[in-house]
Amino acid sequence: MYSGSNSNIEFTDNTAHYFIYPYSPGAGIKAPNDTTYRFIFPGNECPGAFDRGQEKARRRDYQGAIEDWTEAIKLKPNFPEAYYNRGLAHSMVGDKQGEIQDYNQAIKLKPDYAKAYYNRGLVRYESGDKQGAIQDYSQAIRVKPDYALAYNNRGFVRSELGDKQGAIQDYDQAIRLQPNFANPYNNRGFVRYELGDKQGALQDYDQASRILPDHADVYSDRGSTRVRLGDKQGAIADLQKAADLFQQQGDTENYQKVIKLLEKLK
């Protein structure tokens, strides 16, 4: 699982990797299941244009918000929060280049802007620049050492680049900082499985399921692991639970995948 604010980064596949995004609430591997995406509302700078942008963003009029924050920036060019918010709004309308440019400027004006580094890391990852994403998450962590989301996402990217031990270290730290954060447990379980530690993987999936009992991907991953451990009945129970949840969530693609696996087991 990747994580974020409303910046939706994610992927599918039966693997339980979660990226956290900077924006909209979502679930599972395909969307951020964390709701950390927030515009910044200082409220005391360029109140007219800036506040209008806030209100339009709340109504999801992102193009209108961009226009208002552009006006706020013209009135006050050294306004990092306006650049940050406009960057998020650019993301919402699919303008990744505009998003990165705004985060660059926000960071230039405010070098300790952890959220801007974090969000730029999300965009860089989505654009295929995984090393750049790692650099930004590392900067976010340098500025904000208790940034569990950044540790989770950096671990995710490290795992994709083959640095499994580095990924586990990041997931460990994310869990230490935020023990009730399910994503790093699920992600660490995936890496442990890849490294041959199937029992360790099961323990992590168990913990993730306790934190997120209605998370279909957790049951799907744990069920797949149990298949390989020879626990047929446990696998069937997990996969049936995953299928039920995927169906409830309207995720037809993953529902069908799990049903096919169940048919092979029964």
Q: Among 53-57, 133-137, 154-158, 230-234, which stretch is predicted with the lowest mean pLDDT?
A: 53-57
pLDDT at 39: 53
Cα gap 202→193, rounded to integer Å: 8
Predicted structure pTM score: 0.82
The answer, yes or no, to whether residue 262 has pLDDT greater than 90, is yes
- Helix ranges (DSSP H) in the chain: 47-58, 62-75, 80-92, 96-109, 114-126, 130-143, 148-160, 164-177, 182-194, 198-211, 216-229, 232-248, 252-265
pLDDT at 148: 96
> Which structure tokens are listed for 216?
């279909």
Cα gap 95→89, rounded to integer Å: 9
Cα gap 46→230, rounded to integer Å: 64
> Which structure tokens are listed for 206?
């168990």
* Residue closest to 9 by CA, chosen among 162, 136, 101, 163: 136
The answer, yes or no, to whether residue 239 has pLDDT greater than 70, is yes
Residue 99 to residues 40, 62, 63, 103, 109, Cα–Cα distance (Å): 15, 13, 13, 6, 16
The answer, yes or no, to whether residue 12 has pLDDT greater than 90, is no
Write out pLDDT tens, residues 94-117.
999 999 999 999 999 999 999 999
**54 pLDDT tier (thresholds 50, 70, 90):** confident
Kindly give, in sequence order, each residue whose CB lies less than 8 Å from that of residue 266, ignoring residues fewer than 6 positions away. Answer: 236
* Residue closest to 183 by CA, chosen among 145, 222, 160, 212: 212
**61 pLDDT tier (thresholds 50, 70, 90):** very high
pLDDT at 47: 59
Write out pLDDT tens, residues 21-53.
443 222 222 223 333 344 544 444 555 888 898
Hey, what domains does the chain have and what are their CATH numbers? 2-38+111-265 (1.25.40.10)
> At which residue do the structure tokens 């730029």 appear?
120
What mean pLDDT is predicted for residues 200-205? 96
pLDDT at 7: 32
Write out pLDDT tens, residues 118-150.
999 999 999 999 999 999 999 999 999 999 999
Cα gap 123→183, rounded to integer Å: 19
What mean pLDDT is predicted for residues 181-204? 95
8 A C-beta contact, residue 35 and residue 49: no
